[in-house]
Amino acid sequence: MAKKETAEASVEQLSFEQAFQQLEAIVAQLERGELPLDQSLELYARGQRLVAHCAQLLDQAELRVREIRD
């Protein structure tokens, strides 16, 4: 479980650009279909965490833009 917590923390430390770049790399790896199932599932799970992190960062940016605009 410590490994998952470390992975979660590392995702939260990433900038939007870093997270998106990692997400693109994961998608490319999964699309190639060359990984064993267990590794594919781990990558997919990390991809989901990256997607959630990117969405959160975009939401925060949108709020900041609204504050600046108003």
pLDDT tens digits along 43-53: 999 999 999 99
Which residue has tokens 């965490």? 49
Tokens of 23: 């997400």
Q: Which CATH architecture has domain 2-69?
A: Orthogonal Bundle (1.10)
Tokens of 42: 């781990």
Q: Which residue, 17, 26, 19, is CA-closest to 53? A: 19
Type of residue at 30? L
44, 30 Cβ separation under 8 angstroms: yes
With cut-offs at 50, 70 and 90, classify the pLDDT of residue 1. very low
**pLDDT tens digits for range 4-40:** 556 666 999 999 999 999 999 999 999 999 999 999 9
